[in-house]
Amino acid sequence: MAKAVTVLAFYAVALLALGGSWVEGYTYTFETNGDTFDRAVSSTNPTFSSGDTVVTGAGDHHSWDGVYGAKQVSAGSGVHVWKVVVLAYEDHGANVFELAIGLTTNTLSTWFWSQPESYGYMAEDGRAVNSKEACCDFKIGYGSPYRAGDEVTVTYDSDANTVGFGVNGVDQGVFATGLGSGPFRLAIAVGDRKESVELFAEVDEQPTPAPTPAPTPEPTPAPTITTSHSYEVSGDTFDTSVSSTNLHFSEGDTVVVGHGDYHSWDGSYGTKQVIGGSGVHTWKVKVLTYEDHGANVFELAIGITTNTLSTWFWSQPESYGYMAEDGRSVNSQSSCCSFNTNYGSPFRAGDEVTVTLDSDAGTVSFGVNGVDQGVVGTGLGAGPFRLAVAVGDEKESVQLDGVSDSQETAETWTDYPHTVCKEKDSETSNDDGFYTRYKNIEPNELEKCKAMCVEAETECMGVEYYEETGRCDLFHKPFTHVKQKKNRICSARDKHTGELSDYTAATASQLHGAGSLVMVCAVVGVVAAMAVIAIIRRNRSSPGHNAYYTVYASEEADI
């Protein structure tokens, strides 16, 4: 009984640590189940024991044989936590996986994480892999490595559709969102006979309504008025006149290659300089080549600075850098050098690093492959700042892939926080043709979404923005903002490019003969030498908003 109480207490704490919360008016029931490995769907190579709760790998070569839990869980069934104890582990230098623990919908005999809807956490270096749609999106630096004696937890929140991991009760964070309906099961990939694990327990949590009064509805958040920004993409280059003379520049001074076979961290600097109060500026830098040298932890540094030292740009005040090898950052706002060794993910050849200077807010941050790593420095001075890259030696090279600038304009918007945009006089989702959706916008911020609306070729009356996925919906028809939804922002544009007529412009394709014809019509009718043969209604028409049509015509038709 004492062991059972300990397990329940552990998972009560784990629920809160993994972002959960107790909801007032609900009683939470925890049920501990004895999940086992399912031999019928697991690889036949490993050895099972202790009632199929212990598995040991096979052979001396890494095969990552797949072993799967018997219990399967689907979306909408609460929170499920598996606890796996690592019994034996040996680190082999030839690979970086060794042992993988995770969640999947498949039962492959090996490499479970190579299939869609598979999520794994690797022992050797703490990386995680997300194969939501296809193999394999690795996140190096996700969590702590784990070894023999460690307890690894896999937490699947089937209501929120998320999965996260923990080590010895320490949450490593939510790793993936937007999981499908499943069913999912525990997945283990054991490298060889030197690795073994025990499936200790599986805990289910379900909220049961208690006889308490209904909670008071949250008040509708008050809208706010904001000023928009417009974005302009320009092509920055390295300024060879202020950069180290040891470096090699090419491709119109957009590519820089390091010098020699020892680390000197020669400084290369962008031509463009920006000052405080000039908006948001984002540089994109592509890492072309990279080699890890064990003698140091920097290798390659990317950042911004006000100086143009020939080496070690981050050693001077008002300098901020992000190091490739271990993902540390450096803040030398006043003097050298404040390092944060837990700042972000390491980056390598093929990765794209972004440097974002918000000169209005006085902050600088970095990103890797579209994933924001967070703010490094605040309270930045007036500058001027420029891009700075310190290359270790001839094995490192980067390419400057442009810079985007935002400028404040006279555009004003009304922002409705925690609200989705809906079609006018409608409680349903947006109809076909009502909005245009963009995903993974960059920079991932509301101002960029608004700028896309302003620059859209089609009339845009407002946007809906979802930061978690970088989603931006541009609305082309009148809409309301009556339905609340957490973490969304519906923003109405108070000034737009024109007024919609009763009918929108339609495209008419010539079905006979070459070329195409663009026909703009206010009232559908017969046009000279042409017969309208099909009118397909795109959206239902109702009071207060427009009807959209696609019109097909031909030069010759029998009617």
Query: pLDDT (tens digit, 9 = 90+) per residue, 225-283?
Result: 665 545 555 679 999 999 999 999 999 999 999 988 877 889 999 999 998 888 899 99
Longest dimension (CA), the chain: 89
214 part of a folded domain: no
Phi and psi (nearest 5°) for 384?
-75, 145
3 state DSSP class of 6: helix
**What pLDDT does residue 552 have?**
31
Higher model confidence: residue 427 or residue 559?
427
Are 152 and 52 part of one and the same domain?
yes
The domain total for the chain is 4
Phi and psi (nearest 5°) for 45?
-80, -45
CA dist 352 and 528 (Å) reads: 55
Least confident stretch, 280-289, 327-336, 532-541: 532-541
CA dist 483 and 214 (Å) reads: 20
Number of Cα atoms under 13 Å in the Cβ half of residue 442: 20
3-state helix, strand, coil in the chain (%, to 5): 5, 45, 50
pLDDT tens column, 453-482: 888 877 888 899 999 889 999 988 877 766
Specify whether the CB–CB gap between 163 and 79 falls below 8 A.
Answer: no
Are 291 and 387 part of one and the same domain?
yes
**What pLDDT does residue 454 have?**
83
Are 375 and 453 part of one and the same domain?
no
Q: Report the pLDDT averaged over residues 193-221.
A: 67
**What pLDDT does residue 501 have?**
27
Specify whether the CB–CB gap between 54 and 198 falls below 8 A.
Answer: yes
Are 372 and 424 part of one and the same domain?
no
Closest CA to 433 of 475, 398, 471: 475
Residue ending a domain, choose from 406, 426, 441:
406
498 part of a folded domain: no
CA dist 113 and 103 (Å) reads: 8
70 part of a folded domain: yes
Q: The domain spanning residue 471 has which CATH number?
A: 3.50.4.10
**What pLDDT does residue 389 have?**
96
**What pLDDT does residue 160 have?**
92
Higher model confidence: residue 224 or residue 348?
348
Closest CA to 303 of 317, 326, 323, 276: 323
219 part of a folded domain: no
215 part of a folded domain: no
Are 330 and 438 part of one and the same domain?
no
426 part of a folded domain: yes
Q: DSSP per residue over 56-91, as a string?
A: E--SSS---EEEEBS--B-TTS-EEEEEEEEEE---
Q: Report the pLDDT averaged over residues 381-403.
A: 91
Tokens of 383: 């500058």
Least confident stretch, 104-118, 211-225, 337-351, 435-449: 211-225
Tokens of 475: 């609305």
Specify whether the CB–CB gap between 151 and 84 falls below 8 A.
Answer: yes
Q: Please check the confidence at residue 541 and state whether its pLDDT lies above 90.
A: no
Higher model confidence: residue 500 or residue 80?
80
pLDDT tens column, 296-313: 667 899 999 999 988 889
pLDDT tens column, 143-163: 999 999 899 999 999 999 999
Are 349 and 271 part of one and the same domain?
yes
Q: Report the pLDDT averaged over residues 177-196.
A: 93
Across the chain, mean pLDDT equals 77
Q: DSSP per residue over 400-466, as a string?
A: EEEEEEEEEEEEEEEEEEEEEEEETT--SPPPTTSEEEE-S-SS-SHHHHHHHHHH-SS---EEEEE
Specify whether the CB–CB gap between 106 and 214 falls below 8 A.
Answer: no
Task: Spell out the SS3 assignment of 10-46.
Answer: HHHHHHHHCCCCCCCCEEEEEEEECCCECCCCCCCCC
Q: How confident is the model at residue 333 (pLDDT cuts 50, 70, 90)?
A: confident
Are 183 and 256 part of one and the same domain?
no
332 part of a folded domain: yes
Phi and psi (nearest 5°) for 68?
-130, 145
Owning domain of residue 456: 411-493
Give Cα separations from 203 to 30, 34, 357, 545 (angstroms): 7, 9, 45, 51
**What pLDDT does residue 252 have?**
93
Q: Report the pLDDT averaged over residues 322-342.
A: 88
pLDDT exceeding 90 applies to what percent of the chain?
42
359 burial (CB, 10 Å; 0-12 / 13-18 / 19+) is buried
Higher model confidence: residue 547 or residue 347?
347
CA dist 65 and 59 (Å) reads: 11
Number of Cα atoms under 13 Å in the Cβ half of residue 302: 31
Q: The domain spanning residue 14 has which CATH number?
A: 2.60.120.920
Q: Please check the confidence at residue 177 and state whether its pLDDT lies above 80.
A: yes
